[in-house]
Every structure is written in structure tokens, then in C-alpha cells.
Structure 1
Amino acid sequence: MLWTNKTNTVTTGKNSEQLAAHYLTQHGLLLQTCNFQNRRGEIDLVMTENDTWVFVEVKYRKNSHFGGAIAAVSIKKQQKIKQCAAFYLQQAGLNEYNTPCRFDVIAMQGDINNPEITWLKNAF
């Protein structure tokens, strides 16, 4: 049973990331990569909007118990994403100090097949 719950969580996570990528591309962003990982952490979506690199954290929650999707992006998680983004920029041959970038959150809540989507630009 525990394995099934883990599988469902992974599937839900992948589905929510695909939905977020589709949502953002419909709003003019270009997908660069999904699930960029290094030893410091993971970035769900790396996108560009014009000349700005956009690092996106995707959170899905079925309901608002325990604060909902937005509350799930803790300060510690934000720090890990920032460190991971600096590494990503370095690997891409970009200078993190001279490259326009921002950190967005896509928070989804409700039915996974038709969730309410909240896009927080420049969330942290």
C-alpha cells in the first residue's frame, strides 16, 4: 500500500508539472528544461520569458488544509531553489549576477484534472 501511495504522489507531481508547463507556455513563456537536479536541490521548470530566465516551483494540493499549495514553499525550499538556479546558470555559461532571472510559483489546488491555478510571479 505504501508503494502505491508513493507512486500516486509521483504521478500527481509529474501531472501537475506538465499542466503548469502548458499553462505557462500558453502565457508566452518558453520551456527550457524540466526537473533540473543537482546536489543542492531541484527546480521543477526552467523557462524563459523574453530575455528573463524563470525558475518555477510547482505545488499541488488537493485542499487548503495545512495552508494549501502556496504555504508549502518554505523559506528553506526557496533557498535550495536559488542555489540550484545559480548552479544551472553557471552550467549554461551565464553569469548569475548579470542574467535577468526571477523565481515564480505555480500553486494548484482542487481536482487534479481541473485545478485552480495561481501564478505568483517573482514570488521570492
Structure 2
Amino acid sequence: MLTKLKAKAPHLTRGENAEEQAHNFLLTKGLKPVCRNFRCKQGELDLIMLDKETLVIIEVRFRKTDKYGSALESVTHKKQSRIIAATHLYLSSNRTDRPIRFDVVAISGNGNIDWIQNAF
């Protein structure tokens, strides 16, 4: 019996492409991958990487246009709270003594990449 494969929604494909672009960009900046797409009930951590001795939690945001706000502006206080809660859950099973930093990689439709370290 053949099963029909469901195509991914275009916004999910764009999101995956933006995460891959951010991951590759950060690799060129010397960061080392630890985990991708950690999911829990609080939300998702897009990228977790090491920047020397610092564990970096990275939120990747993509906006095709700035019509409704930039990619960076879309990281609201509510979104930050969810990322922090998900980080607590991640750390409960992946203990570390390393310092932790929260970064945002904002990618615009024209290909510009803004890497904001210590974003919140």
C-alpha cells in the first residue's frame, strides 16, 4: 500500500533553511555545535553551541520583509521567557558549569544576517 507523503508547509521549510544558514554562519565564527532543535513543552531551542567555554542558546528568526517588524523585533519578552524556561529544562538533564549566553541570529529576506550576542 502506498502512503501519500505530506509536503511541509512553506513557512516550516523557510524556518529550517534559516536555521541551517545560521548554523553555518556561526560555524564560520568558530562556534561548535552541541544540539539542534531541542523540543520540550516550554518550546524549542533552535541551536545550542559552544563559543569557547560559553554555552550559547541561539534563537534563529527569519522575516521575509520588515512589514510587520524585523526578525529581531519578533523576539518578544514572552518568547524570551519561553526560551529561558526551555533552557532550564535542557540544563536539568544536561548539567554544565559553563557560563550561559542567549544570542539571536536574525535573518532578513534580503540575506542579511545579524548576530546579536548576549541578546537577553
Q: TM-score, normalised by structure 1?
A: 0.87
Distance 2:25 2:116 in 1: 13
Question: 1:37 corresponds to which residue?
Answer: 39
Could you say which residue in structure 2 is the equivalent of 1:106? Answer: 105
Amino acid aligned to 2:118: N
**Displacement of 1:22:** 0.3
Give, in whole Å, the separation in 2 of the partners of 1:65 and 1:44.
24
Structure 2, unmatched stretches of 5+, are 1-5
Q: Which ranges in structure 1 are unaligned for 5 or more consecutive residues?
A: none
In 2, Cα distance between the equivalents of 1:50 and 1:10? 31
How many residue pairs get aligned? The number is 115
Which entry has the higher C-alpha Rg, 1 or 2? Answer: 2
Choose which of 6, 9, 17 in structure 2 pairs with 1:7.
Answer: 9
The amino acid that maps onto 2:113 is I
After superposition, residues 67-82 of structure 1 pair within 5 angstroms as 67-82=69-84
Give the whole-Å Cα distance in 2 for the aligned partners of 1:81 and 1:17: 16
**Residues 50-89 of structure 1: matches in 2 within 5 Å?**
50-89=52-91
Moved over 2 A (4+): none
C-alpha root-mean-square deviation of aligned residues, in Å? 1.5
What CA distance in whole angstroms lies between the structure 2 residues aligned with 1:116 and 1:31? 22
Higher helix share: 1
Sequence identity, in percent?
A: 37
Aligned mate of 2:115, from 88, 113, 119:
119
> Counterparts of 1:79 and 1:93 in 2: how far apart (Å)?
20
